[in-house]
A and B are shown apart, each in its own frame.
Chain A
């Protein structure tokens, strides 16, 4: 596939730097030439595991998988008892609609995430790591397997990592098609070979995780940050972004923008800057109607929110969430009922079915939206939708329940008139929502 060197925007890239360098192949030699595997050597030589945890705490790094939980703090929950077996799982399930950053981190710079993985494993005392990669990423799995084999051949992974006497094994575990397996406890079940059903908490994975052992689950992007934090120091990292949301973040921008893609920017820039300056703005002759700022589980924003800062707190304050960093832009040709209906199709299909409100609620909500979108809505449907969403949110086993109501509640809030028009006119006023396929 042909690529063109990307027009570099002012920020200094961290995670995408190597891969955006022309000719970078991502193999071990290339990674080492670019300075790779220095951080893990330093860690093994100079730091005790607790010190690594301290450094990461100090950097302020927050999880990039969705919830934004401080990574160092999460590691700190793992019991220190050296006789206990511990596991690290790297979450490469990337299934949140609108998000495609981890795929790129895996495909283009696998050693960066492997080095981060080794650092994380060392910090928590895990001797075995499973990288849970979504089943559809056949290429990514192959690339990772190859990278692991390269690193294992050089003694970077295996019984005696860099001659330190410490053994860390890394295995790729492929999923098989289930969004819910991105949820960390469902992911553990899936590694155990079972149906991916989230576990009821307590007990928490830090105490009772994979095979009932203390376990940390970290996202691909989260671990990819670690070598850089070690190499350049936590203070350097903490100075990027905002005080509470430090560091760079890769946003996956898609939908009706001119230049969809992955953009690594400091946390805290505005949504407007991301869309207009990095993603090239909305397509010509159109205007933005709605934006999902953090994957399908995040509430819709309107153009009024374009100046909201892209950091965990600001977005939450504005009523949505930073989530997975998947930004979907919709212009005025998009019917909001249709958009919510499309996403409920996703949630209905992906609900694992374990808990009552989500299993029953996702189907019920989906059917109501289907009716409304197809012109069969009833006036009482809107109150019903809100009531049902209220009966799901906060009452489910996992956060999926909160996610599935977000598109409905936010579109109802910002675009209620559109719903009413559907019901009143018994049809979709915008059209059937089918975008045509380009001929060439």
Chain B
């Protein structure tokens, strides 16, 4: 038997050391909060309550301080998400060039609504605000990767890649635009 309940949802030792390694960067451990939450999120795909408690101890804060920060930033989720979190930019510039159509296309293809996760736990779909790719819209971010200049065909390929390999070579590289629009990459 373990001392705390819900041990399996807690941070691993390597996660903890990734957090502690950042302490020297700041005069105050509190500053590692966002990074610590990111580590927690990466570890389980979402931020568990147990992890928040542990971050509190590491950072010498109370769990509520961790929680209030976690709920402020959209990149943290306190609920389990799919393996690939698709985030479609819905803000004006992308909306002008087809973001809403992109969301509809994804909804149809995945058979879920924005805000939902596929039953196989592979994909979650959300809409988000401007991701600074406005000139390359419509676009989406899946986990860490940006995908730009999207078309129906390209989306099909990306989803197929992700299903098959877990990643897709269509992810954008270092950003530089304009590119040649008439012949998309």
Q: Which residues of A contact B (CB under 8 A)?
A: 1-4, 6, 19-20, 26, 94-100, 102-104, 107-108, 134-139, 143, 169, 171, 173-179, 190-196, 211, 252-256, 258-262, 279, 292, 296, 326, 328, 330, 334, 339, 342-343, 345-346, 349-350, 352, 433-440
Alpha-carbon separation in the docked complex, A406 to B153 (Å): 37
Nearest CB on A from B43, distance (A): 15
| Pairwise interchain contact A175-B34, C-beta atoms closer than 8 A | yes
Residue numbers in B under 8 Å from A253 (CB-CB): 135
| Pairwise interchain contact B72-A440, C-beta atoms closer than 8 A | no
Alpha-carbon separation in the docked complex, A261 to B129 (Å): 19
| Pairwise interchain contact A194-B144, C-beta atoms closer than 8 A | no
Nearest CB on A from B125, distance (A): 14
Q: Across the interface, name the chain A residue whose C-beta is closest to B68.
A: A195
| Pairwise interchain contact B174-A107, C-beta atoms closer than 8 A | yes
A-B contact pairs, 13 of them (CB 8 A): A19-B176, A94-B132, A98-B92, A98-B93, A138-B144, A177-B73, A193-B59, A194-B65, A196-B73, A254-B96, A261-B135, A262-B177, A439-B151
Residue numbers in B under 8 Å from A95 (CB-CB): 129-130, 132
Q: Which of B5-13, B22-30, B116-124, B159-167 contacts A (4 or more CB under 8 A)?
A: B22-30
- The answer, among A97, A169, A330, for a CB contact under 8 Å with B91, is A97
Binary contact readout B138-180 vs A (1 if CB under 8 angstroms, 0 otherwise): 1001001110001111100000000000000000111111111
| Pairwise interchain contact A328-B96, C-beta atoms closer than 8 A | yes
Alpha-carbon separation in the docked complex, A279 to B104 (Å): 29
- The answer, among B130, B133, B134, B152, for a CB contact under 8 Å with A346, is B130
Q: Is B37 part of the binding interface, using a Cβ–Cβ cutoff of 8 Å? A: yes
Residue numbers in A under 8 Å from B145 (CB-CB): 138-139
| Pairwise interchain contact B172-A260, C-beta atoms closer than 8 A | no
Residue numbers in B under 8 Å from A195 (CB-CB): 68-69, 72
| 20 additional contacts (CB under 8 A) given A193-B28, A438-B152 | A3-B179, A4-B179, A20-B176, A94-B132, A100-B175, A103-B132, A103-B175, A104-B176, A174-B38, A175-B73, A177-B76, A192-B30, A193-B34, A193-B69, A195-B69, A261-B177, A296-B91, A342-B95, A434-B100, A438-B98
Residue numbers in B under 8 Å from A4 (CB-CB): 179-180
| Pairwise interchain contact A2-B185, C-beta atoms closer than 8 A | yes
Q: A211-B27, A434-B101 are in contact. Are A3 and B176 (CB under 8 A)?
A: yes
Interface residue count for B (Cβ, 8 Å)?
Answer: 66
Nearest CB on B from A117, distance (A): 15
In the A-B complex, the 9 residue pairs with the smallest Cβ-Cβ separation, listed nearest first, are A261-B178, A193-B33, A437-B101, A260-B135, A177-B74, A176-B73, A138-B144, A107-B174, A177-B75
Q: Is B114 part of the binding interface, using a Cβ–Cβ cutoff of 8 Å? A: no
| Pairwise interchain contact B91-A252, C-beta atoms closer than 8 A | no
Q: Is B78 part of the binding interface, using a Cβ–Cβ cutoff of 8 Å? A: no
| Pairwise interchain contact A440-B92, C-beta atoms closer than 8 A | no
| Pairwise interchain contact A254-B134, C-beta atoms closer than 8 A | yes
Q: Is B52 part of the binding interface, using a Cβ–Cβ cutoff of 8 Å? A: no
Nearest CB on B from A301, distance (A): 14
| Pairwise interchain contact B91-A346, C-beta atoms closer than 8 A | yes
- The answer, among B99, B104, B174, for a CB contact under 8 Å with A108, is B174
| Pairwise interchain contact A99-B132, C-beta atoms closer than 8 A | yes
